[in-house]
Amino acid sequence: MSEFALKLAPSMIAADLSRFAEVIAELESVGVEWLHWDIMDGRFVPNISFGPMVVQAARPLTGLHFDVHLMIEQPGNWIDQFADAGADGIDVHVEGCDLNATLPRIKARGLRAGVVLNPGTPVASIRSHLPTVDNVIVMSVQPGFAGQKFMPTVVPKIEELAQLRATFGHNFELIVDGGMSPETAAIAARAGATVLVCGASSVFIKGQPLATSVAAMRRSVA
């Protein structure tokens, strides 16, 4: 398996919170590689979601990679709390912090450091960080709300990042977050995505077993 073999990262904000432990065990049993944690503060984005205590409670339940996406103001103030809670990687928005100050602090905790681009933010804004970051997340919806449609306008951005990674030998995972379904997953994968964040339209589909949903996503990108 190549370093950039495609990974699925179910977004835990879309999971059934009343049976959190069972859902995590099920996801691990059907072979997903990462769990994605959307952290919202009601300020950087309008909604509020998890804090570090939820991540900490889930950490003993699985050895899966925990990718923590901070959609919050002043994310640098929360790096240590999420690192202590069990994060394996932390992703921050270029629109919300000083990357020169924040990314080294994430790496200093031994975590994967990632940067996130909103749909309207150009690749040029993070170009200087591409040699050193571990993750780049392309938002394919506006951050902060579940259930949005995938924005095809971000596909050239995914392709640009994939080309830069190949041309210069960068080592970041190229993550696409928002509006994933079997159909849009295929589009993102063809453009060069290596991790797909999966929510209510891809993995956590009401009334459908997780194994069925994950299998459909795998088939779509095979």
Q: Name the residue with tokens 């993995």.
A: 203
Whether 1 is covered by a domain: the verdict is: no
Name residues whose C-beta falls within 8 Å of residue 28's C-beta, 6 or more positions apart in sequence: 62, 63, 64
Number of separate domains in the chain: 1
Query: Quick one: pLDDT at residue 3?
Result: 56
Residues 158, 192: contact at Cβ < 8 Å?
yes
Q: Is residue 127 part of a domain?
A: yes
Per-residue confidence (pLDDT) for residue 140, from 0 to 100: 97
Per-residue model confidence (pLDDT) at position 2: 41
Does the residue 55 lie in any domain?
yes
Residue ranges in 41-98 assigned as alpha helix (H): 52-58, 79-85
Q: Domain for residue 107, yes or no?
A: yes
Q: Residue 218: its pLDDT value, please?
A: 95
Consecutive 10-residue averages of pLDDT for the chain (222 residues): 76 94 97 97 93 97 98 96 98 95 98 97 97 98 84 98 97 97 97 96 94 96 90
The residues that are catalytic are 38, 177
Residue 198, domain CATH: 3.20.20.70
Residue 158 lies in a domain: yes
Q: The domain containing residue 15 runs over which residues?
A: 7-220
Cα distances (Å, whole numbers) of residue 78 to 7, 36, 51, 83, 151: 26, 17, 10, 9, 30
Whether the pTM exceeds 0.85: the reply is: yes
Query: Is there a domain that residue 15 lies in?
Result: yes
In a domain, 201, yes or no: yes
b/e per residue 205-215 (b: at least 16 CB within 10 A): beeeebeebbe
